[in-house]
Amino acid sequence: MNILALNCGSSSIKYKVFNWERKESLGFGSVERIGIMGSFIRHERPGREPHIVNHDCPNHETAIKILTNTLLDPNVGIIKDISEINAVGHRVVHGGEKFKSSVKIDAEVLDAIKAVQDLAPLHNPPNIAGIEAAQHLLPNVPQIAVFDTAFHQTMPEHAYLYAVPYEWYGMYGVRRYGFHGTSHLYVSRRAAVLLGKNPIDTNLITMHIGNGASVCAVKHGQSVDTSMGLTPLEGAVMGTRSGDLDPAIILFMIEKEGFYAEQIDTILNKKSGLLGITGKYMDRRDIDKAAQEGDQRCKLAVEIEAYRLKKYIGSYYAALGKVDALVFTAGAGELNWQLRENVLTGLEDLGIKFDKIKNQMAISRDKETDISAGDSRIKIFVIPTDEERVFIEDVVAILEGKYETHTRFTYSFEDPGYKRKLA
């Protein structure tokens, strides 16, 4: 069985083709700058040089067509006929309250995804565009939706409700939903393996730190709180998103500058966070370099990001009562040792002690590392995430009629002998 995993963003589509029987990736890549000048596809096969080609790509349907043509290309492709794709797994950022697990997409499911797209206006529309494009080009292939929000549907009411008029929840679904669910699921199950425990016996704080960032409190293997809220804007400081802020700031700036709602949305989602603080950088590598060279605003951005993450560790420690391990994952969480050091320094009295040398050595996309000091009461892991693996296993289980909600489902990566392959 060959499964195509699709992650459709507003201007890109990331993909992977995975052969389930051989348990290996056949190829992966991305179509970038959809709807923007300079569109291109980067296609990779294990053990081969990347294949990069410029293409005019005005929309997601064109991007899917470019992608499938590349998969079929006799020189660089990985399949001979489109019928060799047996299923497509789609990342869907927001599933509202309706979807607590992955589902096969039919007209009713697609309508339900569309019904909550205003809760994730930057994410669900491109997810929907990707689904519709894949359905058009692969009409007889089963399509499965895998939701970012599903893992967090175990949060208790007191954690997901806001202290606003209760009617807003009933009328408009205003509540905390949380995101990066497949990532938090994967690394929490892997952390349980590293601890030698069953997930149900494990309490964790998992930290997905990429351009978007979220923190999750995992109790007895289930999400009980998370930093992102109604939308992916709340929580930690991110590349271009503000994270937590006083809501009155919005009213204050509307009064001062006369902003419209759309302008405020753009500022908070695309011009804030690390970019807003530094005034020029959203990539932490650029920020770290400039900070080392003496840029004061970059130094401040580094301090603010680490301070906010540190506060989330403290608050989720209090919420959980007992913590077995702290987990770093995603781009910066896996590769930025300085960020981890900034976050972990000063947490010794909480029983969180890291080894500086181990931390500096832990820079890998495929190696799981324990960076705890020998006398740390709480383990500290760096675990590379693998969201596509969750997609693929959900797709296979649904097609084989073996799938249950993630709270009752056992993934292959929960096996102590499981070894992740980077591709």
What DSSP assignment string belongs to 202-230?
--EEEEEESSSEEEEEEETTEEEEES--S
Give the span between the Cα atoms of 169 and 162, in whole angstroms: 9
pLDDT score at 222:
96
Burial of 248 (0-12, 13-18, 19+ CB in 10 A): exposed
Residue 272 DSSP class: -
Lowest mean pLDDT among 52-61, 154-163, 176-185: 52-61
Report which residue type is found at 161: L
Name the pLDDT band for 159 (thresholds 50, 70, 90): very high
Q: Contact, 264 vs 301, CB < 8 A?
A: no
Provide the 3-class DSSP secondary structure of residue 46: coil
Query: What are the structural domains, with CATH classification, of the chain?
Result: 2-147+390-414 (3.30.420.40), 198-385 (3.30.420.40)
Q: Is the pLDDT of residue 354 over 80?
A: yes
Average pLDDT for residues 197-210, to the nearest whole number? Answer: 96
Q: Is the pLDDT of residue 120 over 80?
A: no
Q: Is the pLDDT of residue 254 over 70?
A: yes
Helix H or strand E segment including 302:
helix 296-320
Q: 202 vs 407, which has greater pLDDT? A: 202
pLDDT score at 122:
72
Q: Name the pTM for this structure.
A: 0.91
Mean pLDDT of the chain: 91
Provide, for the chain, the percentages of residues in helix, strand and coil under a 3-state DSSP scheme, each rounded to the nearest 5: 40, 20, 40
pLDDT score at 124:
83
Q: 154 vs 36, which has greater pLDDT? A: 154
Q: Is the pLDDT of residue 403 over 90?
A: no
> 148, 225, 295, 324: which one is catalytic?
148
User: What does the block give as tokens for 88?
Assistant: 């497509």
Strands (E), 185-286: 204-209, 213-219, 222-226
Q: Is the pLDDT of residue 421 over 90?
A: no
User: What does the block give as tokens for 170?
Assistant: 């009933």
Q: 423 vs 399, which has greater pLDDT? A: 399
pLDDT score at 284:
87
202 Ramachandran zone, left/alpha/beta (phi>0; psi -120 to 50): beta
Q: Is the pLDDT of residue 55 over 80?
A: yes
148 classed as catalytic: yes
Q: Which residues contact 51 (CB under 8 A, 6 or more apart)?
A: 29, 41, 42, 43, 44, 45, 70, 76
pLDDT score at 22:
85
